[in-house]
Structure 1
Amino acid sequence: MPNRKQNTRFIIVGSIGIAFTLLIFYFSLTSGTYPLTTSETFRTLFGIDHISNHELVIFEFRMPRIVIGALVGLALGIVGAILQGITKNDLADPGILGIQSAVGLAVVLYMFIAQGNINGMSSFGIVGMSVWGWIGGMVAASLLFVLSRYRGELDPKRLILVGIALNAGFGALTLFISLKMNPHDFEMATVWLSGSIYSASWQQIISMLPWIIFIIPVLIWKAPILNILQLHEVAIIGLGVRANRERMILLVGSVGLISASVIVSGSISFVGLLAPHITRRLVGIHHQHIIPISGIVGVILVLTGDWIGKTIFAPAELPVGIVISIIGVPYFIYLLIRKSRKVT
């Protein structure tokens, strides 16, 4: 259990993280191709002024985009911490395990069959995407469990290798199906798969909220179990913990969050990898602290990446997934080098 000093550090880091999140929220709300002053923004936000152009920009374009970015960052940050805990591997994230690719494949397949369009997607279309995405994620999770078992137990190392293979396979199938789409849908699918939240809507937020509300409390509640799962398998059995059952619960919950995120934002890579690493440096190794702070760090990463993508390159926009990948790839290489040095 965390001691008093660690709890105090957790509270301080969490408070600073929330404050920084609010700061990024402010910058994202006031900046863009349609400039708004701080006064105009807050007077419109709190209903003091009723200027139609300001209300359109804030409530229909910027607010949904910010809220979606925050929810996606929260989900991916928490899932990254869960998956790294399950696999006991610091390089695990939703993309590497193939779950994001499976959800992306399912949604692209849905778009191909239904001739869907990401822009202006109806509520029925979003629900359909959610169902297909969750099914795709569960298929990937089932394959992970079946192919990663060794002598009846889930082998964390084999889980990573199987995940990498599944990721490559699902990615190839996604590319094949997208090439069969009509040009307009192909263009939209390509932008979506690169990781973008520019077409965020309140319907997408509503579709994502139930996953966030019901799954995240369960994952946080399971944090002490995740601490135990870091021990040797013999010690876990000695403590009376059913390791496979607990890993299954954590993985199914993670699939739900990944599915909800990919459906509204596409495959945003490296958030689940970076957030837990940054968090462990800040608050230590206890998952009671790692899981919520990873969520906050994930929010900061996505909102900051989206703000950079829409302001630095204005009037053009760079998808948030590409911005985070520019940061994530060098860090991933650094982690690989550091891990190889530890082994040698």
Structure 2
Amino acid sequence: MIRSELAARQRKILLALTLLLIFTLFAGMGIGSASVSYSHIIPTIMGHGSFKDEFVLFDIRLPRMLIALLSGMALALSGSILQAVTRNDLADPGIVGINSGAGVAVSLFFLHAPIDAGSFAYLLPLVGFAGGFLAAALIYILSYSRSEGLQPIKLVLMGIGSSMALSGLMIFIISSSDRQKYEFIAKWLAGNIWGTDWPYLSALAPWLVILIPYVLYKSGVLNLLALSDHVTVGVGVRLQRERLGLMIAAVALASAAVSVTGAIAFIGLMAPHIAKSLVGPRHQMYIPVTLLLGGWLLTLADLIGHHIVGPDGVSAGIMVALIGAPYFAYLLLRK
């Protein structure tokens, strides 16, 4: 397919995904125990709604849906970077241990940090990044060989083992905590979107505003990193510096997302693969599609899960895992 035809196809897919995302957000605004008539949604957004409709939309539903949207985008973009940098189609921030590393740091911070509530939301992404970076650095070192470079299969295996170990460490950390804090971290482990207020959205959004343009700017480098080390170095790419910079971006995106949504895996695995099947493997083409797909998948998973069983529903992490785990097994068998 020539480039102009591929670009036209990408535009059509982006338009379809944008309309699908708008429809999902609009549908979500009217669903819930406190009903809001769909005919009142647009007037309420424009500032002409009743007090009840404004409270339900602006204080309860919109923050939650927007956080799910941005977190899905961050996880999907992180997965795209990891798959290119590690040359492994099975790489995902949840599978390779980044999410669990961020979770341990968030758990320790939540249990022991003497911090006031007003600063809590804004510090969480930084704390999550520190934990995710340490976990990623350890897994990278253990998967790297001087003679063979980064070993993709070993990285996934080390990541899965580290993720399980860190999840066990989280359970050990909270075993002696009081009941309220234990319930919070248990929900975090299940992938329950808990940061549903505007401050959490304000804490998450800057990471995407900075890192999405950076990754798009580096999309040509990502195309080269997906090739062998010899080819990448041969065309003049500073391999280790570029790989390190992009790995840090992937860790930052995933850690910022899971610090407010909980341990959600498989979004970073599924969204890039679906995007590649739609527009091909060039990062310039499929990263924008990946962003919209990741945001839509997590928004839809949370919308369905939140309203399936009773007022608490099923966590978004479990809903995503119901789809993602079989998909991961399929990719593992195929590769």
Contact 1:107 1:263 in 2 (8 A): yes
Specify which of 143, 148, 166 is matched with residue 148 of structure 1.
143
Contact 2:188 2:194 in 1 (8 A): no
1:38 aligns with 2:38: yes
Distance in 2 separating the partners of 1:154 and 1:2: 33
Amino acid at match of 2:163: N
Contact 2:67 2:196 in 1 (8 A): yes
1:184-207 per-residue CA deviation (whole Å, 9 max, x = no partner) reads: 110111112211225501000011
Q: Which runs of 5+ in 2 are unaligned?
A: none
TM-score after normalising by structure 1: 0.92
Amino acid at match of 2:47: G
Contact 1:223 1:288 in 2 (8 A): yes
1:182-261 → structure 2 map (5 Å cutoff): 182-261=178-257
Specify which of 268, 272, 280 is matched with residue 268 of structure 2.
272
The Cα shift of 1:313 comes to: 2.5
1:209-232 per-residue CA deviation (whole Å, 9 max, x = no partner) reads: 111111111011111111111222
Q: Which runs of 5+ in 1 are unaligned?
A: 340-344
Amino acid at match of 2:57: I
Distance in 1 separating the partners of 2:262 and 2:227: 35
Judging changes above 3 Å, is the alpha-carbon distance between structure 1 residues 273 and 202 closer, same or farther for their aligned structure 2 residues?
Answer: same
Amino acid at match of 1:135: A
Distance in 2 separating the partners of 1:24 and 1:59: 17
Judging changes above 3 Å, is the alpha-carbon distance between structure 1 residues 155 and 335 closer, same or farther for their aligned structure 2 residues?
Answer: closer
Contact 1:87 1:160 in 2 (8 A): no
The Cα shift of 1:328 comes to: 1.1
Amino acid at match of 1:323: M
1:80 aligns with 2:79: yes
Distance in 1 separating the partners of 2:258 and 2:123: 13
The Cα shift of 1:64 comes to: 0.2
Aligned residue in 2 for 1:137: 132
Amino acid at match of 1:38: Y
The range that moved more, 272-281 or 34-43, is 34-43
Amino acid at match of 1:150: S
Contact 1:154 1:244 in 2 (8 A): no
The Cα shift of 1:127 comes to: 2.7
1:127 aligns with 2:126: no
SS in 2 for 1:12: helix
The range that moved more, 19-28 or 180-189, is 180-189
Amino acid at match of 1:58: L
Judging changes above 3 Å, is the alpha-carbon distance between structure 1 residues 230 and 306 closer, same or farther for their aligned structure 2 residues?
Answer: same
Judging changes above 3 Å, is the alpha-carbon distance between structure 1 residues 19 and 33 closer, same or farther for their aligned structure 2 residues?
Answer: same
Distance in 1 separating the partners of 2:42 and 2:33: 18
The range that moved more, 260-269 or 306-315, is 306-315
Distance in 1 separating the partners of 2:22 and 2:258: 24
Amino acid at match of 1:141: A
TM-score after normalising by structure 2: 0.95
1:1-344 → structure 2 map (5 Å cutoff): 3-49=3-49, 51-114=50-113, 122-151=117-146, 153-339=149-335
